[in-house]
Amino acid sequence: MQRIISWNVNGIRACEKKGFLDWLNGIDADCICLQETKAVESQLGDNLLEVPGYKFVLFPAERRGYSGVGTYFRHEPLSLEKMDCAEFDVEGRVMILEYPQYYLLNCYFPNSQPGGARLDYKIAFCDAILEKCRELLAKGKQLLMCGDYNIAHKEIDLARPKENVDSPGFLPEERAWMDKFVAAGFVDSFRKFNSEPGNYTWWSYRSAARERNVGWRIDYHCVNEGFADRVAAAGIQSDVMGSDHCPVYIDLQI
């Protein structure tokens, strides 16, 4: 069995001050995929870079203090690559780890921003990552794409859908892309096990939203349909603090 955890830490240095290392040293996971790391390697201490039992690789954005993904892994991947698309790699959006049986994509999808200011960029990224998924599947392995998608797919995935029809992350174009992604043969692993409302992965820091569970589910582990029968469990660790997001996990029978 392999456990893969994904967590938007909203700044790994900020999260470190809120107990990140205690959490990391207390879990039993094969890969921990982080998004919005907001750091370059020279800004991190050895306690983050040299965690016993793991290797850590960081793909930062060129812009300091912004975006970026990083992965702690126990088992060395066969290959480790970026998306190979300059307009997205410059923001540290994707890390692709190849293992013998599957590809693991650690992704931080763009935020479409108020008024849809970056919606075109967001949808371009979404279409490009779908094409990358198809390209990787064509090589004959399974695929798991985890991370912060910055999209609540359906009304069940946020506490107040009617009030947020014009909000970034719930725009019709974003939700339509998720429909397209699912139609292309990908499975939202959490919904394979849980069809209940009230399960969220992000809460605003304002208005005590987390305490009142007024949140959004925008962090996912999605697999191709042929890999879905290997998913033993998927869940949300909403009790873990340290960010405005919480970790999500998937267990694979490998």
Q: Which active-site residues does the annotation give?
A: 148
Q: Position 227: which residue type?
A: F
How many CA atoms lie within 13 Å of 173's alpha carbon, on the beta-carbon side?
17
Q: Report the alpha-carbon distance of residue 32 to residue 65 in Å, rounded.
A: 21
DSSP-based three-state secondary structure for 68 = coil
CB 247 within 8 A of CB 8: no
Q: Report the alpha-carbon distance of residue 63 to residue 44 in Å, rounded.
A: 16
**Other Cβ atoms closer than 10 A to 97:** 23
DSSP-based three-state secondary structure for 21 = helix
